[in-house]
Structure 1
Amino acid sequence: MKELTDFLLQFGNLNTQQIDLIGSKTEELLLKKEAYFSEAGKIPNQVGFILEGILRVCYYDNKGEEVTKYFGDENHLIVDWHHFEAKIPASEYVQAVTECKLLVFSRKDWEELSNTIIGWDTIVNKIIQKALIEKLDRRSPLVSEDATTRYLTFLEKFPSIANRVPLSYIASYLGVTQQSLSRIRKNIR
């Protein structure tokens, strides 16, 4: 719970009672490797905070190929926010890449925090803004750089993820084939 508290306090002030209330609304969830936190076609009904492990957001393109959109690791919230907020079926999957331990809020409890804690929505909005900026920072170079530069940038920005996820997911994230990524890795050693 300390990790979640420290994370939330980066975005606003909470008193002891509010922190205790937040803690009472979480439930620990263990996800096995490759299990889904949320699935395409279903309405996301929970918000998770990653204590241990890595999850990825992925989808299938029009050719039926799996595409990794981004990764989430320790001390980050994980939720398909757009679909969670709109209460509509998701178009993406949130899948455990490794064994994961999360603190999870149900939709009901998340909404109760919003209705009970003054400033909760402001904190959540700041978290969302930060996540959107990070997402743009992650994706923008992928469009304009060559594959080797994209991989080196990935290693620089995500050193804690690079050695913990399968190469196929990194290749998908970078928009290259696994064979190309293997060649790139061999050439930069």
Structure 2
Amino acid sequence: MKELIDYILQFGTLNQQQVNLVISKAKELDLQKGEYFSEAGKVPRQVGFVVEGVIRGCYYKKQGEEITRCFISENSLVVDYVNFEANTVSSEYLQACTDCKLIVFPKPDWEELSHIIVNWDKIKNKMVHLCMHQKSRKGPVISQDATTRYLDFLENYPSLINRIPLTHIASYLGVTQQSLSRIRKNIR
């Protein structure tokens, strides 16, 4: 829980009683690699904080092709916040790329914090803003050649390269796994 509290306190101050309330509402959740935190076709029901592991945001094109939009790793919120807030069905998946340890807040508990903690909405808005910025970071520019896209990935996500399956990286880059293998071989 210390990681979560340290994260929250970057965005505002809480007294010990408020910290204890936040901790009392939080629940630990383990996701195995491949399991979903939230799914397309369902209403998101929880906000998570990644303590350990990597989650990816992805969707499927009509032709069934899987597209990875973003990666969310340690010390970040994970939530499809627009659909969570609006109580609407999501169009994307949030899936564990690795085994993950999360701290989660079911929607009623997340909302209750706003009613009890005076500055929670300000803190929450800053956390959510950062979360949405991280999720919306532009994926690779398809007009760039594949090698440049891969080098940009290495620069933006240096800790992920040996932690997540190459199929997810290839999907994020918009290349086949075979092309990614060739690019990696040529760079070494």
Give the TM-score, by structure 2 length.
0.95
Matches of 1:81 and 1:103, distance apart in 2: 16
What is the match of residue 188 of structure 1?
187
What pairs up with 1:143-154 in 2 under 5 angstroms?
Answer: 143-154=142-153
What is the match of residue 32 of structure 1?
32
Q: Which amino acid aligns with 1:92?
A: E
**Aligned residue-pair number:** 188
Q: Which amino acid aligns with 2:166?
A: L
Deviation at 1:143, TM superposition (A): 4.2
Q: Secondary structure of 1:161's match?
A: coil
What is the match of residue 126 of structure 1?
126
Q: Is the 8 A contact 2:48 2:79 kept in 1?
A: yes
What pairs up with 1:90-129 in 2 under 5 angstroms?
Answer: 90-129=90-129
Deviation at 1:157, TM superposition (A): 1.4
Give the TM-score, by structure 1 length.
0.94
Q: Secondary structure of 2:42's match?
A: coil
Q: Summarize the Cα distance change of 1:174–1:140 in structure 2 as closer, same or farther, 3 Å threshold.
A: closer
The runs of 5 or more residues in structure 1 that have no matched partner are none
Q: Is the 8 A contact 2:58 2:70 kept in 1?
A: yes
Of stretches 124-133 and 140-149 in structure 1, the one that deviates more from structure 2 is 140-149
Q: Secondary structure of 2:14's match?
A: coil
Q: Secondary structure of 1:165's match?
A: coil
What is the match of residue 161 of structure 1?
160
Deviation at 1:172, TM superposition (A): 0.6
What is the match of residue 83 of structure 1?
83
Q: Secondary structure of 1:41's match?
A: coil
Q: Is the 8 A contact 2:50 2:103 kept in 1?
A: yes
What pairs up with 1:5-20 in 2 under 5 angstroms?
Answer: 5-20=5-20
Deviation at 1:123, TM superposition (A): 1.3
Q: Secondary structure of 2:50's match?
A: strand
Matches of 2:34 and 2:133, distance apart in 1: 27
Percent of pairs with identical residues: 61
Q: Which amino acid aligns with 2:93?
A: Y
Q: Secondary structure of 1:162's match?
A: coil
The runs of 5 or more residues in structure 2 that have no matched partner are none
Q: Secondary structure of 2:64's match?
A: coil
What is the match of residue 69 of structure 2?
69
- Structure showing the higher helix proportion among its residues: 1
Of stretches 141-150 and 43-52 in structure 1, the one that deviates more from structure 2 is 141-150
Q: Secondary structure of 1:67's match?
A: strand
Of stretches 127-136 and 12-21 in structure 1, the one that deviates more from structure 2 is 127-136
Residues 140-174 of structure 1, C-alpha deviation per residue, up to 9 Å, x if partnerless? 65245321111111111111111101111001111
Q: Secondary structure of 1:114's match?
A: helix
Q: Secondary structure of 2:163's match?
A: coil
Superposition RMSD in Å: 1.4
Matches of 2:38 and 2:24, distance apart in 1: 23
Matches of 1:20 and 1:46, distance apart in 2: 20
Matches of 2:185 and 2:76, distance apart in 1: 32
